[in-house]
Structure 1
């Protein structure tokens, strides 16, 4: 075997083990008995130790030095393997295993503290998670910015300063649009009624199929915090249900289907290789957000959904235009995952600033709840009344995902660019969506974005799909045009 062939065979086994580790995480959040948390943390830590040893095996360095790529795909494989090898070699194996063990335990502690509205019960655990991730960041940063080092796990090439500058450009137009909307004479009504869980889940499965989700390679379950898990031929999604708010379930489902279809859409030849997953979390979010918002909340698709909901429920909405306005209703709210398109990025900006300060050490964990509540009041004009609506609402920090939050907004920016290009490529898009046909849109996304996996770098895949480097302008123009029409401004 050549050095390249030996490296690829070794990498395939590593990727397979990583999928097993991911399945343990999926099980923990969906089906695992509560009393198994301690044992599961040890199982995950043990598997992480094996993975870390493989990812830092000295033979990888030898194979990389000797490998001779024969085409651009092979060169991309070596690029990604080298990036992972260099990254993991900087982190001690004992630290990697301890982070895995601690974050596995922390997820359950966070979930219980959230249910009990008890911040104090979670803060010592968060302190430990942050300590470990800061130690890891210091090892990765080589004297540079620790937060930038953590960002590379989610958005290679991004920097905290670059994201902060992007947010500074976006914030004034988002705030101005929100203020115009909240001051408008026309305000859509809130959705009333009762929507039984079983009926919501039936319609969620229908919606998932409408967006191309393949249930022969996935499944839909319930979780506290919706997520997508897996790659290749086993990609699972979760949603959650409130019987007073069916949109929470339906749009969480569409969002996670976007993530899942990205993984399912990667070129099958890349399965169980370094290229076999999405290019970055920002690009991943571009898929989930364009599925959820530009497609799923469009006037055309909500017209189809209105008809389906009238068949499934006693829906107290008179017409499709009103339904579209209700789906896109802008109102002050606490929960990021339920936020309207106008305010969503403001939720992300809050978290980005706080986690950056936590990693830098300028904000203490003991002061986090007060800092969150003060910032939320300043940004949204309403006071947080309970921790589950505030600092305990998101799972991310409990599982150590510092640096993940800004990729949500990067995904929105990328989705804005992709939507503009999609409209040019599929001029009859609205006619298709009005019939519940998403295939022309999702097939374009699969061909231009999803099939590449990690073969292209994040900026490259968006630029190749759109014909230009990504900027925030298309997203902001889309939001202003859409919501000024809905609110008759």
Structure 2
């Protein structure tokens, strides 16, 4: 037995236990009885204690030192890179802090859902204060004297910094704001209307999932307050939600989560239960969900197919042509919800959250002032008032579960998706003819071959750069958005 063999066998058990923890989280958001929240918090704390002990086990340091004397393959070297990073980061975080974070965020998630249903931020604020305080402690431990927010963000996008994202947002904001002003001066196209039952939406959303390549023999679709994807390898589950007046909420949430799920399902099977067997970063993950949802799912070609399919299921849907349906799918209007935002305004939602959560972590924004700060900033950025907390600072689950540093990866994923879409269309020039027939395979296979199968083998920007033939920049995304919405609104 070599050090590599011992280390990788130990790591495989750790990865399996982490999957079990993820399944507990999935159950909590889908099927767990409401009265079980406190007990689930203790269960999550217990398993996190075990995971933290394994991730900081002194034997890992010894194995890594011995492995340095061997000559690993490319795959083994990549595994060592991930294990080393995890070991060094976990070793900086006290075990009781890791356990308490797991317990508190598990409980906070349920309290967030109840507060959201009641539009009552004040009832949620105390537990959010605890979450923020714990994440501040964790970030300070990880930063080791460096920037606390950067240290937290490194959990989701290794190597990225807030400064880099500030520069990216500064490049994106002026063009987006200018284009939005021109678009909102134009009449908004009609939306769909009709009867969209819960059962019919769920049946149609399953068809969409299959159309985009989701393998239901290794997954399932359930409902949750906030859609998400969970798991990797042979067990990758997604959730969606329904609204009787807005079927697109369900359909495009599903396509988005299928993008995440297909990434996980399509990673090289040989990487299962290793550090390479999951998406390499949330930015790359979001690139898959966003390109599935937007550049493919909201394209004129694919919506033409989707229009006929929806009419067959729902009958009259209030629009009388494929072009009108395409305009309805992509219409820009005043709204509040990030997950329902059009491509033009979506990144403005992210920029707002990025600034607010940085202020929370730095201590410049007390949690008790968050609702007012959100409403003030939203009015500045979007021009109208937030009427209730569920449309404002309670709309997203992320902060309740401690995901500070996560939001920016949505916009980073959009940027990556813009670059990938440009390369995809160059390599598959007849893509629209396939999409018009409801055949997404040329697109999804290209993404599988160029991004998804690699899992964690390469660094985030490296895998995107390899797929696109150049380092990722915001230019392709901004050009795509300007071209699409200038055409839609005849600017």
Change in CA separation of 1:379 and 1:440 when aligned onto 2, cut-off 3 Å: same
Distance 1:473 1:236 in 2: 33
In structure 2, list runs of 5 or more residues that go unmatched.
Answer: none
Q: Which residue of 1 aligns with 2:185?
A: 183
Task: State the secondary structure of the residue aligned to 1:216.
Answer: helix
CA shift digits 1:448-477 (9 cap, x unpaired): 000111110000000000000000000000
Q: Which residue of 2 aligns with 1:427?
A: 429
Equivalent in 82, 90, 98 of residue 92 of structure 2: 90
CA shift digits 1:192-240 (9 cap, x unpaired): 2221010011010000000000000000000000000000100000000
CA shift digits 1:59-86 (9 cap, x unpaired): 0000011112431111100000000000
Q: Which residue of 1 aligns with 2:260?
A: 259
Distance 2:71 2:215 in 1: 34
Distance 2:180 2:487 in 1: 14
Q: Which residue of 2 aligns with 1:352?
A: 354
Task: State the secondary structure of the residue aligned to 1:155.
Answer: coil
Give the Å deviation of 1:397: 0.3
* TM-score computed with the length of structure 1 as normaliser: 0.99
Give the Å deviation of 1:187: 2.6
Give the Å deviation of 1:412: 0.1
Q: Which residue of 1 aligns with 2:310?
A: 309
Does 2:1 align with 1:12? no
Distance 1:230 1:310 in 2: 34
Q: Which residue of 2 aligns with 1:37?
A: 37
Distance 2:188 2:225 in 1: 31
Does 2:2 align with 1:2? yes
Distance 2:262 2:346 in 1: 23
Q: Which residue of 2 aligns with 1:478?
A: 480
Q: Which residue of 2 aligns with 1:229?
A: 230
Pairwise mapping of residues 33-432 of structure 1 onto structure 2 (< 5 A)? 33-67=33-67, 68-184=70-186, 186-314=187-315, 315-432=317-434
Distance 2:319 2:12 in 1: 52
CA contact (8 A) 2:188 2:333 kept: no
Task: State the secondary structure of the residue aligned to 2:217.
Answer: coil
CA RMSD of aligned residues (A): 0.6
Task: State the secondary structure of the residue aligned to 2:76.
Answer: helix
Distance 1:398 1:27 in 2: 17
Distance 1:485 1:4 in 2: 56
Distance 2:111 2:395 in 1: 13
Distance 1:271 1:151 in 2: 25
Stretches of 4+ aligned residues off by more than 6 angstroms = none
Task: State the secondary structure of the residue aligned to 2:386.
Answer: coil
Task: State the secondary structure of the residue aligned to 1:391.
Answer: coil
Task: State the secondary structure of the residue aligned to 2:236.
Answer: strand
CA contact (8 A) 1:4 1:69 kept: no
Distance 2:318 2:361 in 1: 47
Distance 2:221 2:76 in 1: 35
CA shift digits 1:98-144 (9 cap, x unpaired): 00000000000000000011111000000000000000000000111
Distance 1:87 1:200 in 2: 43
Task: State the secondary structure of the residue aligned to 1:236.
Answer: strand
Give the Å deviation of 1:191: 2.2
In structure 1, list runs of 5 or more residues that go unmatched.
Answer: none
Distance 2:248 2:72 in 1: 49
Equivalent in 441, 444, 451 of residue 442 of structure 1: 444
